[in-house]
Amino acid sequence: MPSRVRLIIRAGLKYWRLPDLTESAELLATELVTNAFKHGCGDVGVRLYLTASHLLIEVRDGSHDLPVLGNAALDDEDGRGLFLVASIADDWGVSLDGTTTWCSLPF
């Protein structure tokens, strides 16, 4: 699924003529989708849309558990996904019911 999400993002950003966002958007979406598969339940959905100044990426899953921004140790193999999202995205958050995690990139 993450590889398909990257293809869709690449195509969408090409269509919207925002190729400079591709690398960051692919990384952010991959981290959010991977989190949804690891910690969520049910189907996973991805939505991309533009506001007047930002690309928004939303990833929805069936879990009502709120994601936690972890503190991975240097030798941990995972646990850095949301830290990367928080570091790269202009903003990020979680819906009140915990089913959707989103982030934004300015353009």
CA distance 58 to 17: 20
Helices 2-15 and 22-39: crossing angle, nearest 10°? 150
> Would the pLDDT of 76 be above 80?
no
Question: All domains of the chain, ordered by start, with CATH?
Answer: 2-106 (3.30.565.10)
The confidence score (pLDDT) of residue 67 equals: 65
Residues 53-73: tens digit of each pLDDT:
999 999 999 877 766 666 655
Q: Which residues pair with 102 in a beta bridge?
A: 58, 93
Global pTM reads: 0.83
**Averaged pLDDT score across all residues of the chain:** 87
Residue 99's CB is within 10 A of a number of other CB atoms, namely: 19
